[in-house]
Amino acid sequence: MQEQNDIKNFINNLNGEFQEILGGGFYNLITGEFFTKTEVQKYIQRRVEEYTITTVATINRTLRESNEIETEQRLINKRSKNKKSKLKTKDRYEGGDFNIIYRDRIEEVNDMKLNNNEKLVFYVLRDFAQYPTNCVVIKDSIPTMKELEPIIGLNEKTIRNSLKSLQEKNLVKLKQYGHRKSIYINPEYYATGKDLDIETLHMFDLIDCDNNKIDEYIQYSKEEGDNN
What pLDDT digit, counting tens, does each position of 41-51 carry?
Answer: 888 888 888 88
Domain that holds residue 152: 91-203
For the chain, the residue count is 228
For residue 61, the model assigns a pLDDT of 74
Residue 51, C-beta contacts closer than 8 angstroms, at least 6 positions apart:
7, 10
What pLDDT digit, counting tens, does each position of 145-157 carry?
Answer: 999 999 999 999 9
Residue 16, C-beta contacts closer than 8 angstroms, at least 6 positions apart:
29
Strands (E), the chain: 18-20, 26-28, 34-35, 129-130, 135-136, 172-177, 180-185
What pLDDT digit, counting tens, does each position of 117-130 carry?
Answer: 999 999 999 999 99
Residue 86 lies in a domain: no
For residue 197, the model assigns a pLDDT of 85
**Torsions phi, psi of 27, nearest 5?**
-105, 125
DSSP 45: H
Q: Rounded distance, CA 68 to CA 64, Å?
A: 6
Q: Are residues 75 and 7 in the same domain?
A: yes
Cα 18 to Cα 28, 41, 44, 96, 220, distances in angstroms: 5, 11, 11, 32, 15
On average, the pLDDT of the chain sits at 81
> What's the CATH code of the domain at 165?
1.10.10.10
Peptide bond into 132 cis (omega under 30): yes
Residue 159 lies in a domain: yes
Q: Are residues 14 and 35 in the same domain?
A: yes
Question: What is the tally of structural domains in the chain?
Answer: 2
- Residue 47 is inside which H or E element, if any? helix 37-65
Residue 169 lies in a domain: yes
Q: Rounded distance, CA 43 to CA 41, Å?
A: 5
Predicted TM-score of the model (pTM): 0.54
For residue 169, the model assigns a pLDDT of 97
Q: Are residues 95 and 163 in the same domain?
A: yes
